[in-house]
């Protein structure tokens, strides 16, 4: 059983109030008494009850994090960096995995409120914007604009789309396909598509795009998607800009299997450069690197800033730079 | 700001005690009063304070999970399943990433105690056994024997080593190398090595092993390890049993680059079959599949069983079956 403050009082032969005073450095305590109490705490390995303290202080030092899929390399890496920064600042993470299910996401928000977390980092986006506006505590959002009072952190999606497109054009592509993410939630990631279209138009290059590439997609899901939606017209294109690396990896192998040489016949650019991509030896993907470490840190510090300064406006939004990783697929 | 029980009392025109009675279904409450209070709770979107409740009930419904590296595919997948099962049972996860740092791990244990989590799932193992024995709350361990009173959950490491070795022998290997994990912590994973050695001896096959393959190893780490520790003698072997898939993947590409044909000249078996391996198209690794979903579920249910029945002995240890995935590297 857990050692309580009563046990400490008993062993040191003083009252519970005195032990509490020693712990909180409050009121006058003689040196001898202090030493007796501290010895008893040590001997009993007493751990102060943070739950009781957080109730008194009205702050729990717990941050809720909701992600769409914890086993996805982008989100496991993001959580890794969020945890690392939060722990430096003495905050703890309550982790929620929405599995992109609306009801689960709603239940998690309600659970986090009931558990009085100090704030929420929202990386899952299956609900309408209104559901997040009324949470009643600090929120920071990943890659989505929720409201003027909810700051967001995102990679520079527009620039990502721009440099991916320009890279393909510089490499001589004349007709480019973009496989985007799902467009329904108005995520900031959709700006990659805007930049792609404008880049192609400005350069007089033929283009087309197709909506696909879901967060939870496996290699097989992507393979079937390519087979069903793209295969019959794949030969028309000499460049493809994929909105994530797993799609780019799948397309590389699909093409190779169908005697389309990469990069001679078809050039491929991916997006993310997460642990999966970095671990890959063949192919070394050409891709857009998202600064996942800085994203995790900014999500955390933006939220803590709101929590501690009670000042949402001061937090502002954060757009982080992205860069091209020049690999073997272009 | 958070709506409090006082706001509900005020809006419904009753006392705080009455609201509390309605919430907890305690004492006599007239139907009209109940409806008034429930309407007020709904209108104000009142969320009961679970922290106050957990203090009263002495149960927080929070489980602490300590992992060595959250961005590693094995652990991100394990957490994914732990979270999924915990959430079904109305438990929440406090996530700790030890980064295999002794001090961080100790601090996390102390933090989890102070936050009165109901129990700890221990997947990081950098401390001596004693540190876990005195935690004073339910603990379940992943892949390591800590004490007779701390149940563990593990894959059948001995069988994994056995079928990997037998598979290489059946495929005609005459001299086999095993690249094990780090042996210092007496992890259950070391039994793979025992089974490997005995399997080779029984079959009169030459063998050798080398300690390597750390959890945090990247492709580059593994490549450098192979170059430095194995390369000069790699030609002597016709089979290698690697203790994780990332090492097996690296060895495949290292060998291919050095004109060693896989599987003709050298056969490779990996271990884990986590999301990274499943996503791979080239090569399809021959490997030992750990039941990561069942591991996550059993870690969670074994801990909840201890928490709710206060009966450690009844929980027992869990050894889960592993199977061979027959790929292209043998």
> What is the domain partition of chain B in residue ranges?
5-48, 60-154+293-320, 157-291
Question: Which residues in A235-245 are b (16+ Cβ under 10 Å) and which e?
Answer: eebbbbbbbbb
- Closest residue in A to B222 (Cα) is A279
As a whole number of angstroms, the distance between CA A104 and CA A138 comes to 20
Whether pLDDT at B55 is above 80 = no
Output the 3-class SS for chain B.
CCCCHHHHHHHHCCCHHHHHHHHHCCCCCCHHHHHHHHHHHHHHCCCCCHHHHHHHHCCCCEEEEEECCCCCHHHHHHHHHHHHHHHHCCCEEEEEECCCCHHHHHHHHHHHHHCCCCEEEECCCCCCHHHHHCCCCCEEEECCCCECCECEEEECHHHHHHHHHHHHHHCCCCEEEEEECCCCCCCHHHHHHHHHHHHHHHCCCEEEEEECCCCCCCHHHHHHHHHHHHHHHHHHCCEEEECCHHHHHHHHHHHHHCCCCCCCCCEEEEEECCHHHHHCCCCCCEEEECCHHHHHHHHHHHHHHHHHHCCHHHHCCEEECCEEECCCCC
Class of the domain covering A157-291: alpha beta
So what's the pLDDT on residue A314? Answer: 55
So what's the pLDDT on residue B133? Answer: 79
Which residue in this structure is represented by tokens 């403050």? A5
Task: Return the percentage of chain A with pLDDT > 70, whole number.
Answer: 97
User: CB of A288 within 8 A of CB of A160?
Assistant: yes
> Chain A contacts of B249, Cβ < 8 Å?
279, 281
Q: Provide the ipTM.
A: 0.85
Among B80, B90, B215, which would you mutate to test the A interface (most chain A Cβ atoms within 10 Å of its Cβ)?
B80
> Chain B contacts of A97, Cβ < 8 Å?
80, 83-84, 87
* Residue B185 binned pLDDT confidence (cut-offs 50, 70, 90): confident
CB contact under 8 A, A45 and B246: no
> Chain B contacts of A49, Cβ < 8 Å?
55, 114, 116
Looking at the DSSP assignment, which residues form a beta bridge with residue A324?
Answer: A288
Smallest Cβ–Cβ distance between B2 and the set A49, A99, A136 belongs to A136
Whether pLDDT at A120 is above 60 = yes
φ, ψ of residue B14 in degrees (nearest 5): -130, 180
Whether pLDDT at A242 is above 80 = yes
CA-nearest of A188, A160, A177 to A237 is A177
As a whole number of angstroms, the distance between CA B141 and CA B157 comes to 15
**Min Cα separation B206/chain A (Å):** 31
Looking at the DSSP assignment, which residues form a beta bridge with residue A320?
Answer: A155
> Chain A contacts of B1, Cβ < 8 Å?
136
Whether pLDDT at B248 is above 70 = yes
As a whole number of angstroms, the distance between CA A13 and CA B80 comes to 48
* Residue A218 binned pLDDT confidence (cut-offs 50, 70, 90): confident
Whether pLDDT at B111 is above 70 = yes
Smallest Cβ–Cβ distance between B79 and the set A47, A60, A70 belongs to A70
So what's the pLDDT on residue B1? Answer: 57
**Min Cα separation B173/chain A (Å):** 26
CB contact under 8 A, A80 and B71: yes
Tens digit of each residue's pLDDT (9 = 90 or more) over A292-325: 999 999 999 999 999 988 665 556 899 999 999 9
Find the helix or strand (DSSP H, E) in which A288 lies: strand A286-289
As a whole number of angstroms, the distance between CA A248 and CA A286 comes to 9
Whether pLDDT at B314 is above 80 = no
As a whole number of angstroms, the distance between CA A44 and CA A234 comes to 70
Whether pLDDT at A193 is above 60 = yes
> Chain B contacts of A52, Cβ < 8 Å?
55
As a whole number of angstroms, the distance between CA B78 and CA A286 comes to 30
> Chain B contacts of A92, Cβ < 8 Å?
94, 96, 111, 115
CA distances from A171 to A235, A276, B215 (A): 18, 25, 39
Among A53, A76, A116, A219, which would you mutate to test the B interface (most chain B Cβ atoms within 10 Å of its Cβ)?
A76
> Chain A contacts of B94, Cβ < 8 Å?
62, 92-95
So what's the pLDDT on residue B311? Answer: 64
Among A95, A312, A327, which would you mutate to test the B interface (most chain B Cβ atoms within 10 Å of its Cβ)?
A95
- Closest residue in A to B104 (Cα) is A87
Contacts 24+ apart (CB under 8 A), B24-33: none
Specify the higher pLDDT residue, A30 or A283.
A283
How high is the mean pLDDT of chain A? 90
CATH topology for B5-48 is 434 Repressor (Amino-terminal Domain) (1.10.260)
Whether pLDDT at A205 is above 70 = yes
- Looking at domain A60-154+293-320, which CATH architecture does it have? 3-Layer(aba) Sandwich (3.40)
Whether pLDDT at B327 is above 70 = yes
Find the helix or strand (DSSP H, E) in which A289 lies: strand A286-289
Whether pLDDT at A157 is above 60 = yes
Whether pLDDT at A289 is above 90 = yes
Smallest Cβ–Cβ distance between B83 and the set A70, A77, A276 belongs to A70
So what's the pLDDT on residue A1? Answer: 57
Tens digit of each residue's pLDDT (9 = 90 or more) over A60-115: 899 999 999 888 999 999 999 999 999 999 999 999 998 888 888 888 998 898 88
CA-nearest of B221, B236, B231, B134 to B182 is B221
Give yes or no on whether B60-154+293-320 and B157-291 have one common fold. Answer: yes
Specify the higher pLDDT residue, A214 or B304.
B304
CB contact under 8 A, B54 and A49: no
Tens digit of each residue's pLDDT (9 = 90 or more) over A24-72: 777 788 888 888 988 988 888 888 777 777 777 778 899 999 999 888 9
């Amino acid at each position: 059983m857990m050692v309580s403050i009563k046990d400490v009082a008993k062993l040191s032969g003083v009252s519970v109030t005195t032990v509490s005073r020693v712990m909180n450095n409050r009121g006058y305590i003689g040196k001898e008494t202090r030493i007796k109490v501290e010895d008893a705490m040590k001997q009993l390995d007493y751990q102060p009850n943070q739950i009781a303290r957080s109730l008194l202080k009205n702050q729990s030092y717990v941050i809720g994090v909701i992600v769409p899929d914890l086993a996805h390399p982008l989100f496991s890496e993001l959580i890794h960096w969020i945890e690392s920064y939060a722990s430096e600042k003495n905050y703890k993470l309550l982790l929620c995995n929405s599995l992109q299910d609306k009801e689960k996401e709603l239940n998690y928000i309600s659970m986090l409120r009931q558990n009085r977390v100090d704030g929420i980092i929202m990386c899952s986006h299956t609900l309408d914007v209104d559901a997040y506006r009324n949470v009643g505590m600090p929120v920071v959002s990943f890659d989505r604009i929720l409201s003027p009072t909810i700051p967001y952190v995102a990679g520079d999606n527009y620039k990502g789309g721009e440099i991916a497109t320009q890279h393909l054009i510089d490499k001589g592509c004349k007709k480019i396909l973009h496989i985007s993410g799902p467009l329904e939630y108005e995520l900031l990631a959709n700006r990659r598509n805007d930049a792609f279209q404008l880049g192609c138009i400005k350069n007089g290059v033929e283009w087309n795009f197709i909506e696909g590439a879901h967060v939870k997609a496996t290699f097989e899901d992507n393979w079937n998607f390519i087979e069903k939606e793209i295969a019959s017209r794949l030969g028309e294109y000499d460049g493809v800009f994929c909105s994530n690396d797993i799609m780019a990896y799948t397309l590389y192998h699909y093409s190779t299997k169908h005697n389309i040489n990469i990069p001679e016949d078809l050039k491929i650019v991916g997006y993310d450069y997460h642990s999966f991509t970095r671990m890959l030896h063949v192919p070394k993907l050409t891709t857009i690197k998202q600064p996942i470490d800085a994203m995790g840190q900014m999500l955390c510090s933006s939220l803590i800033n709101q929590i501690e300064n009670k000042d949402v406006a001061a937090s502002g939004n954060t757009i982080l730079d992205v860069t091209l990783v020049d690999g073997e697929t272009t």
